[in-house]
Structure 1
């Protein structure tokens, strides 16, 4: 299964579902930037979108909620180690109140993985971030240097789901 996403203006992006009625699109916004996401097989319907392999998939995406994407550049030789680390620890997030979906996305091009979680609300995500389960899952700590297979500093983007109507 693949995941696809692209960025653009809401006015432009909200025209896409009319051309592809068989696809469920998820619209989300961060400030003035809009991102559209969908999952499926086949060719990417976005003219300038990004394509990912879904490595781990838990929960279901919803049309409402709060999405956090941790963007992590990983060296080619570190990809198996990185993916295995997530396969070992991802269950702890599923039991948190407000959890909706988790996706580990491997880029088809480039080296930046996306670790995506969707929550019922931003406060549910904050509760996860402040939980013992989060600390356990991220036990290398913020003081420690990133693993050697990180090519660059990871960065986080967060979005609120929006209606496409």
Structure 2
């Protein structure tokens, strides 16, 4: 299994708009070979730095399946309007990828 995560620092006051973007997006993840699961996670608000942390988390059969997604037309279509919402982000997302070492 491969876990792909993007961390987003969302400007305080834009949390609901950010969630709405994700809830209303055209996602074709379920159509991709090797896709297992997706979750959008909301973390803590860091008031002194002006953001709320969010993580998009997807699980894939393996790193190759995730890589194929990032090179697909479905990926391009899903991210085509990403720049329209720059005001809600404090910088670009931070990608983190993990392979399972141990787990039930």
Shared fold (TM-score greater than 0.5)? yes
Whether 2:41 is the aligned partner of 1:105: answer: yes
Q: Which has the higher helix share?
A: 2
Residue 28 of structure 2 is matched in structure 1 by 92
After TM superposition, which residue ranges in structure 1, 4 or more long, deviate above 4 angstroms? none
Which structure's CA Rg is the greater one? 1
Aligned positions, number: 99
Residue 120 of structure 1 is matched in structure 2 by 61
How far apart in 2 are the matches of 1:90 and 1:113?
19
Whether 2:93 is the aligned partner of 1:154: answer: yes
Structure 2 length as normaliser, TM-score? 0.84
Specify which structure has the bigger relative contact order, considering alpha-carbon pairs within 8 angstroms and separated by 6 or more residues.
2
CA separation of 1:117 and 1:149: change in aligned 2, threshold 3 A:
same
Q: How big is the shift at 1:151?
A: 1.6
Q: Gapped runs of 5+ residues in structure 2?
A: 47-51
Q: Deviations over 1:81-105 (max 9, x none)?
A: 1111111126311221100110100
- State the secondary structure of the residue aligned to 1:77: coil
Residue 49 of structure 2 is matched in structure 1 by none
After TM superposition, the structure 1 = structure 2 runs for residues 1-165 of structure 1, keeping only pairs within 5 Å, are 65-89=1-25, 91-110=27-46, 111-140=52-81, 144=83, 147-164=86-103
